[in-house]
Structure 1
């Protein structure tokens, strides 16, 4: 698990470095996740230690999100001035992520079924 956590942190650091060096408008954590996603797609599998570390982090997900949510209290006038834009962004973001999650899950279920059928034939 420690090895998997180390790899997750390495991708986070690489993402932060890329964001800082290239002055990209995307956060380093998102860049790190995208890089990790590309590596996992290319490798076509995940290591057990990384999967174990990620599953343990999911249990503490709400604690990891809490600090950024607390920062909203300091944005009072910004939030009241832009509430409609924020609402539209939240609703669209939720809908898009839900559709992408649904399509990804369907693709993974089909892939797993094909994989199971192939292994049963052998």
Structure 2
């Protein structure tokens, strides 16, 4: 478990470094996740080693939101004047995220059905 956790943290730090050095507008953890994805695609056995640790982290993901929630509560007074803008932006971004996820899911399901039909038809 420690080796898998160290691997996950190494890729996150690597992503942070890439983001910082190249001054990219993409967060470091996102870059690290993409690098980890590429690494897993080149070495599938790594996924088997990391999976139990990643699933355990996902089980406790809600604990990671506590600091963000506390930060929002502490600075609530500062954003009080911008409450309408915050509410509208959260509502719009949530709606857009749901619509995009639905469209991507629909496209992937159509693609999967199309691939399964063509593979079944081939002798």
Alignment TM class, shorter chain as reference = 0.5 to 0.7
> Is 2:95 the counterpart of 1:95?
yes
How far did residue 12 of structure 1 move? 1.1
CA distance 1:68–1:90, change in 2 (3 Å):
same
The higher relative CO (CA closer than 8 Å, separation ≥ 6) is in 1
Larger Rg: 2
Partner residue, 2:67? 67
Root mean square deviation, CA, Å: 3.5
Tell me, which stretches of 5 or more residues in structure 1 are unaligned?
none
Alpha-carbon distance in structure 2 between the residues aligned to 1:97 and 1:112: 22
How many correspondences in the alignment?
120
> Is 2:82 the counterpart of 1:79?
no
CA distance 1:14–1:120, change in 2 (3 Å):
farther
1:1-122 alignment runs, 5 A limit: 4-36=4-36, 39=38, 43=41, 47-114=47-114, 116-117=116-117, 118=119
TM-score, scaled to structure 2: 0.67
Alpha-carbon distance in structure 2 between the residues aligned to 1:81 and 1:26: 29
